[in-house]
């Protein structure tokens, strides 16, 4: 891969969109799409084409005028940029079925992402072991973050309780949060929250399945 010109002054908004670009590019690639223009990508991802071109320009010459972008190359570029080179220790908040499944899987495909502790407010869950990780009460969160060096949290807490859980995560000093509740929460400016909306993801999957019938375009 040719050298990338990743600027240290890349806007924060651009950096936040990079994982979104990669996720949709991989879906395009899986659907057999090998080349795409910014307008076509805009229709898929619902980001203005001018914004896409501006974001991509921060990383060098990724495409050609009139031709567009090579999807496999873009996947390679964004995968390289977003690859985590050092271990990120993660706290899992909410140990229902989804939370337990995440702990059991524990990012086996990426050894640098590691769930090291889990928490819940339900007394019947506290003390249970999930793949050698003991579920702890939420009041232990701040102390455990300091002890284990956790820098990231994943919250699977339902929407109606999400703000309370996020507040406790922030109070513990964590500034990177993956939230499986789709409703937006309020956090300080220095905290980054990424939302996972399973309904939206499913609708996106159906859109791709109906729009790109698994053949080269």
117 is in an annotated binding site: no
102 in a known ligand binding site: no
Q: Was 95 annotated as part of a binding site? A: yes
Q: What angle, 0 to 180 degrees and rounded to 10, lies between the N-to-C axes of helices 49-57 and 12-30?
A: 110
Dist CA 65 CA 127 (whole Å) = 59
How do 129-130 and 68-70 pair as beta strands?
Answer: unpaired
Q: Is 97 annotated as a binding residue?
A: yes
- Can you count the helices (H) and strands (E) in the chain? 8, 10
Q: Please check if 94 is assigned to a binding site.
A: yes
Spatial CB neighbours of 163, under 8 Å, sequence gap ≥ 6: 185, 186
Among 62, 32, 2, smallest CA distance to 21 is for: 62
Annotated binding site for NAD(+): 94-99
Annotated binding site: 94-99
């Amino acid at each position: 891969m040719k050298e990338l010109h990743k600027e240290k002054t890349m806007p924060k908004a651009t950096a936040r969109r990079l994982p979104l670009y990669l996720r949709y590019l991989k879906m395009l690639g899986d659907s057999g799409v090998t080349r795409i223009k910014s307008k076509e990508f805009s229709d898929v991802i619902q980001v203005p084409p001018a914004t896409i071109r501006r974001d991509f320009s921060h990383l060098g010459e990724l495409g050609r005028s009139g031709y567009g972008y090579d999807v496999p190359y873009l996947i390679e570029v964004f995968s390289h940029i977003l690859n985590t080179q050092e271990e990120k220790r993660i706290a899992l908040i909410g140990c229902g079925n989804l939370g337990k499944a995440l702990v059991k899987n524990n990012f086996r495909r990426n050894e640098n992402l590691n769930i090291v502790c889990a928490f819940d407010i339900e007394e019947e869950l506290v003390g249970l072991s999930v793949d050698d990780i003991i579920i702890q009460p939420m009041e232990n969160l701040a102390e455990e973050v300091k002890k284990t060096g956790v820098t990231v949290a994943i919250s699977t807490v339902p929407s109606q309780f999400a703000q309370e859980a996020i507040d406790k995560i922030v109070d513990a000093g964590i500034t990177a949060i993956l939230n499986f509740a789709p409703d937006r929460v309020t956090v300080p400016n220095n905290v980054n929250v990424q939302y996972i909306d399973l309904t939206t993801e499913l609708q996106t999957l159906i859109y791709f399945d109906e729009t790109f019938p698994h053949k080269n375009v």
